[in-house]
Amino acid sequence: MFFRVLTFLFVLTAFSMAQLLDVPEEYTTPTTVRHVRAEGLINMDERSVLSRVSVRDGQVLPPSAFTEKVQKSVSDLFETGYFDDVTAWVDYQPGNENKVDLVFRVVELPALDTIFIEGCDEISEEDVRLKINLLQGRVYSKSGLERDRQNILNYYRGEGYLLAEVGFRETPVSDHENDVTFIIREGPKVQVDSIVITGNDHVPATDITDHMVTKRTHWWGDGEFKEAIFEADRDSVLNAIRHFGYLDAELKEYRAEYLPDSSCNFYLGRAVPKGRKLTLLYGQLNQAIADTANIMNRLAGRVQEKSAHYYREHRSNFHPYSQAVPVYNVQDEETAVKILNGIITYEELRKEWIKNLPKDHNWKNRKIDSLMKKHKRNRYDEKLLTRYTMEETFGALTPYDSVITSKYVRIYIDINEGRRYYTGAVHFTGNEILTDKMLSHYVYLDSGEVFDYYAYEATRSGIISAYREEGYLFAQYDETREFVNDSIVNLEYKVREGLPAQIHRVNIIGNTKTRDKVIRREVRLFPGDTYRQSSMERSFREIMQLNYFDMVYPDIQVVGDQDVDLIFKVAEKEAGTGQFSAGLAYSQSDGLTATLGVSIPNCCMGDGQSASFNVEYGEDKKSASISFMEPWFLDYPITLGTSLSYAWWNQDDDPDITRYGGTIYVGKRLKWPDDYFYGQIGYSWMMNKQGDNVDGSLIRYSGIESALNFKLIRDDKNLPQFPTDGSRYVLSVQWADEVIGSHFNFVKTDLTVKWWFPLIGDRVALALTNEYGIMVGDPLQYRTLYQMGGVLGYDGMMRGYSSGSIGYRRLGRSYQYIGAEIQWGIVPNTFYLLPLFFDAGNVFGKRYDPDTKVSKNQPNPLTEWDPSSLKRDFGFGFRVVVPMLGIIGFDFAWPLDPGETYSGLQRTSVGDMEFNFVIGQGF
């Protein structure tokens, strides 16, 4: 190939030299390129190839320029990495030697047929494929393969798999196509063995480690080491020291040291030092294996013997020297590593390698001599000796002491604290809009106290936030520090307030399913408004509360001296907002029942309405329900909703139960007492049929339940499904009376209070719940009496007790529930763990017989209230967001007190663990 190129270039050079010699005119006349083409293409497009060529059809070039352009074109084609051979040829036109066709003859490298991934267990194959740039059906190069190998390796290291190995294997499937397999050995994640802190004479080590994201390994978790996070922790360490007033603190040492790798193995991608070719190692290994006098000739094949199932089962039946073992021809890194590691790992092979080491050899590595002199070597000594001697036997190998292969690191931090500083005075200049007194509310440093760096940072951000709240988005300040008596720090802030920012436009992007107007009506800032930080944050919260998006990304874009555009980039839920379920369920009370359910929270072309439809059909149970809700009726913040339902149960010896009816309601967002309030009023009508009523009884079973329903809600939690901060208060009142056509007369009042408190960032939160209910009236509909037990369908969440068992046959006119949960978002929007929950609650009221008259002469429900009788349970659970199914979860709970039978009697002993299946319910 190179001979042909050089011959052609020599001829071209001769042409270019002709202008310096006294030669005929036809040899110095410019060359006209009639046509440029490429030959030998199989998978590549000719147009794509010729786009890299410097010569074009119809160009007229002097011989010297023609030579340079052809030479550059050949180089450019080689640099693409897609060709094994490139030559340039000139076809002269008969009768006109100055007009030529330029032909580039190429030999393509193979094209990619299929990519396979092996060994990705902890990280999904889909995520790995996103790091691969090679395209199926396209020609690829070795450099492209190596780039993708590095991309995968870097991705694994970024996820904490610092010991991951990535190699590749090419398998021909035709003359011009290869399959490529990326071979991954993930290995364990690198863990932090310990953090050693020195020089911290006045700063507790726990204060430093508590502020680091990198943590020491504990039995319950943590301890994952990531290099990027470790480097970012450098500032966290310094700030933790500055928190105690040591503003001049510096780190004399900050490093992570890998502990020794006891395996002593070689790793894919690191078998030879960077920059050294693997072919050198293959040659050294193959030469040793082919030599019958070399120990590698016997050991290489026995690695397969040790690892293959056939040999493990049958090798004991044959004499060692009679066994047929494979003779390797090493052509790839995977095979080389497998042979070397097999000898290091298997004790029998390792001892044979050591036994055949030369006794009086002059080893370059002094550590080999000290290991050889040991009379009793442990397993690690043998592996290390084998590894060291292999490195000297095969010089292409990477030295053990130069690679990082341990799964544990120890972090060393050496501190120079320096002088401790104290807070002096804080002054402001240049501030006109906000007075000194107003700005002093955002100063968190206390004069005379230790200069707290965290309070200092909060002061700096507080000043900017104060101006942003007033619309001064462009406000800036210069800070001056004055040191008094070497240890007191006075601060002066020279403020440049600028002009208030005005909203120019509000842009919504990323909404592929939800209409703009559904999002815009939740935004609290409009074009022409003065910018306010609190309104921006509230807009983010309200959009998230729609529960249509995985995340909302607010941004500000400056478009003028005072004007800004607000950008809300939304990410539609990957799992979708709709839910579909179908299946079979069996219970002792309902028998075998088929279920079908559809719920669409954002139906009707993304206009924000919600609808649902559910059907259950079985021998002992049949039910159907349908509902619809419009949150912005006629584009006003008025909610309008309705629902219809029908249910029938076979009760064996008791009369069958039939219920059907519907509800309609209207609600509105309120601005008083604040704009987190929502009020709703509705009407419900329900026909209840369950046999004859007992005359004169307080409890009735059959009749029309006609009621007005009132609800008042205050909700400021930060997220709609899995909140970590905020609260939710719900007060609901149901009033049924003969005045509105009801056969029942009662007033039922319920109050639910929930608080969420963040414990560790936005991942771990504590949720506290309080529920109370009371009902008065005569007569009462028995299904409106309070019952507890289980997760869904009953009051409270007494997960350690059977569904509806607490209060089932009691006159439950009041109840109380207290709950506490630790909620841990392991994978936000996907997987949430309840490491611990605690429930306490009870229904208050005496037992009654449903077949006899219940006296109307009952005490006030408040007098039956007895918080000391609350039943308790504890347990753990989790929630998973499943596409199309929504939220599903499982709770495992253990009761701490005796429960009740379904006849209303107290059990004599504490029950066993209760399993609860949860669907459609978050926290």
582 and 560 housed in the same domain: no
CA distance 804 to 792: 9
- Range of the structural domain that residue 854 is part of: 670-919
Q: How confident is the model at residue 324 (pLDDT cuts 50, 70, 90)?
A: low
Peptide linkage before 779 cis (omega within 30 of 0): yes
Judge whether 640 lies within some domain.
yes
32 and 94 housed in the same domain: yes
Q: Are 721 and 547 in contact (CB under 8 A)?
A: yes
Angle (deg, nearest 10), helices 227-242 and 453-469: 100
Q: Which residues are CB-contacts of 502 (< 8 A; sequence separation ≥ 6)?
A: 528, 529, 530, 531, 562, 563, 564
Q: Are 473 and 535 in contact (CB under 8 A)?
A: no
What are the structure tokens assigned to 579, written together? 């839910």
Buried b / exposed e over 387-418, threshold 16 CB at 10 Å, is: bbbbbebbebbbebeeeebbbbbbbebebebe
- Looking at residues 493-502, what average pLDDT do you find? 94
> What pLDDT, on a 0 to 100 scale, did the predictor assign at position 574?
66
- Angle of CA points 200, 202, 203, to nearest 5°: 65
How far is the CA of 647 from the CAs of 504, 580, 621, 644, in angstroms? 55, 21, 8, 11
168 and 283 housed in the same domain: no
Q: What's the pLDDT tens digit per position in 867-912?
A: 999 999 999 999 888 776 677 888 999 999 999 988 778 898 999 9
- Angle of CA points 545, 546, 548, to nearest 5°: 120
Amino acid at 468: R
123 and 175 housed in the same domain: yes
Residue 549 has pLDDT above 50, yes or no: yes
Judge whether 658 lies within some domain.
no
Residue 531 has pLDDT above 70, yes or no: yes
123 and 86 housed in the same domain: no
Q: What's the pLDDT tens digit per position in 430-471?
A: 999 999 999 999 999 999 999 999 999 999 999 999 999 999
CA distance 890 to 827: 17
- Looking at residues 522-545, what average pLDDT do you find? 94
The last residue of one of the domains, among 572, 600, 615, is: 572
133 and 196 housed in the same domain: no
How many Å separate Cα 95 from the centre of its chain?
72
CA distance 706 to 908: 40
CA distance 430 to 440: 14
- Please state, rounded to an integer, the average pLDDT across all residues of the chain: 87
> What pLDDT, on a 0 to 100 scale, did the predictor assign at position 576?
56
Judge whether 346 lies within some domain.
yes
Q: Is residue 798 exposed (0-12), middle (13-18) or buried (19+ Cβ within 10 Å)?
A: buried
Judge whether 270 lies within some domain.
no
Q: Are 692 and 700 in contact (CB under 8 A)?
A: no
What CATH number is attached to the domain comprising 95? 3.10.20.310
- Looking at residues 813-835, what average pLDDT do you find? 89
781 and 903 housed in the same domain: yes
Q: Are 625 and 645 in contact (CB under 8 A)?
A: yes
State the total domains in the chain. Answer: 8
Residue 445 is given by DSSP the state P
CA distance 541 to 527: 20
> What pLDDT, on a 0 to 100 scale, did the predictor assign at position 206?
93
> What pLDDT, on a 0 to 100 scale, did the predictor assign at position 218?
77
Q: How confident is the model at residue 833 (pLDDT cuts 50, 70, 90)?
A: confident
> What pLDDT, on a 0 to 100 scale, did the predictor assign at position 214?
92
787 and 907 housed in the same domain: yes
- Angle of CA points 11, 12, 17, to nearest 5°: 95
Q: How confident is the model at residue 9 (pLDDT cuts 50, 70, 90)?
A: very low
CA distance 666 to 643: 12
* Paired strand residues for 376: none
Residue 906 is given by DSSP the state B
Of the ranges 22-36, 656-670, 793-807, 815-829, which one carries the lowest mean pLDDT score? 22-36
Q: Which residues are CB-contacts of 311 (< 8 A; sequence separation ≥ 6)?
A: 304, 305, 323, 325
> What pLDDT, on a 0 to 100 scale, did the predictor assign at position 582?
64
Amino acid at 773: G
- Looking at residues 908-922, what average pLDDT do you find? 80
Residue with tokens 């996103």: 130
Task: Considering only the C-alpha atoms of the chain, give the largest distance between any 2 of them, rounded to a whole number of Å.
Answer: 134
Judge whether 413 lies within some domain.
no
CA distance 674 to 710: 19
The last residue of one of the domains, among 402, 435, 466, is: 402
Q: How confident is the model at residue 307 (pLDDT cuts 50, 70, 90)?
A: low
- What pTM was computed for the model? 0.66
Collapsing DSSP states into helix, strand and coil, what is residue 153? helix
Q: Are 915 and 890 in contact (CB under 8 A)?
A: yes
Of the ranges 402-406, 411-415, 477-481, 483-487, which one carries the lowest mean pLDDT score? 402-406
Residue 14 has pLDDT above 80, yes or no: no
Q: What's the pLDDT tens digit per position in 553-594?
A: 999 999 988 999 999 999 988 655 566 666 665 555 556 678
Judge whether 787 lies within some domain.
yes
Of the ranges 110-119, 518-527, 648-657, 779-788, which one carries the lowest mean pLDDT score? 648-657
Of the ranges 134-143, 324-333, 551-560, which one carries the lowest mean pLDDT score? 324-333
Q: What's the pLDDT tens digit per position in 41-83?
A: 887 888 888 888 888 888 888 888 888 888 888 888 888 878 8
> What pLDDT, on a 0 to 100 scale, did the predictor assign at position 902?
82
Percent of the chain residues topping a pLDDT of 70: 91
How far is the CA of 47 from the CAs of 44, 103, 518, 689, 713, in angstroms? 9, 14, 48, 80, 67
390 and 431 housed in the same domain: no
Residue 770 has pLDDT above 50, yes or no: yes
608 and 727 housed in the same domain: no
- Looking at residues 639-653, what average pLDDT do you find? 89
Judge whether 478 lies within some domain.
yes
What are the structure tokens assigned to 562, written together? 């005072």
Q: Which residues are CB-contacts of 117 (< 8 A; sequence separation ≥ 6)?
A: 125, 128, 129, 181, 182, 184
Residue 157 has pLDDT above 90, yes or no: no
The last residue of one of the domains, among 108, 137, 172, is: 108
Residue 788 has pLDDT above 50, yes or no: yes
> What pLDDT, on a 0 to 100 scale, did the predictor assign at position 388?
93
205 and 292 housed in the same domain: no
Q: In the chain, count of helices (H) and strands (E)?
A: 19, 34
348 and 239 housed in the same domain: no
> What pLDDT, on a 0 to 100 scale, did the predictor assign at position 532?
94
> What pLDDT, on a 0 to 100 scale, did the predictor assign at position 591?
61
> What pLDDT, on a 0 to 100 scale, did the predictor assign at position 359?
81
Of the ranges 8-17, 308-317, 707-716, 783-792, which one carries the lowest mean pLDDT score? 8-17
Peptide linkage before 898 cis (omega within 30 of 0): no
> What pLDDT, on a 0 to 100 scale, did the predictor assign at position 760?
84
Q: Which residues are CB-contacts of 449 (< 8 A; sequence separation ≥ 6)?
A: 422, 423
Judge whether 271 lies within some domain.
no
Q: Are 243 and 207 in contact (CB under 8 A)?
A: yes
